[in-house]
Homo-oligomer: A and B are copies of this chain.
């Protein structure tokens, strides 16, 4: 009857994210995760021998997912514009704000070093963007504005209306396509 194997791992990972969101990032306990995942504590510890390993897996799982989504978004994007794909993918994630990734705060609370893989990821992504984007200033503006939106959604700052957000996204796509120009100064 048991369908063991990888299924459990994913269930546990999802449960951890749920618990972090519902009980607060500081109250993510192994007992709670096990219960939520419908798994015994022993079973949890069998899959992730320590809490640190759980957190690490959480981070890596998320990164891998994002990476795959990015590659796919790029394929769907005109001329394979990476920056535009990044903007679009991020915007899509911000819309479905159902799961505000609170698990990341759990990981940071556990040990700030869990951010290291994210740092590497972010750095590599930025380097790729630098290599592929002709207008560097436009890249800077776009990239950081997207990160700003991500930050706002992470902390749940709802500062923009639906329209305003769409307006910003379309501005960003314009800039990403190199449509940024100095305005002539009035004499």
Contact = CB atoms under 8 A, between A and B. Distances in A.
Interface in A104-139: 105-106, 108-112, 115, 118-119, 122-123, 126, 136-137
Contacts of A147: 147-149, 151-152
Q: How many copies of this chain?
A: 2
A175 interface: yes
A168 to B, nearest CB: 4
A126 B137 CA distance: 24
Chain A contact residues (Cβ within 8 angstroms of B): what range? 35 or more
Contacts of A174: 182-185
Interface string A150-187: 11101111111000100110111011001111111100
B26 A155 contact: no
Contacts of A115: 155-156
Interface of A: 24-26, 102, 105-106, 108-112, 115, 118-119, 122-123, 126, 136-137, 140-141, 143-152, 154-160, 164, 167-168, 170-172, 174-175, 178-185
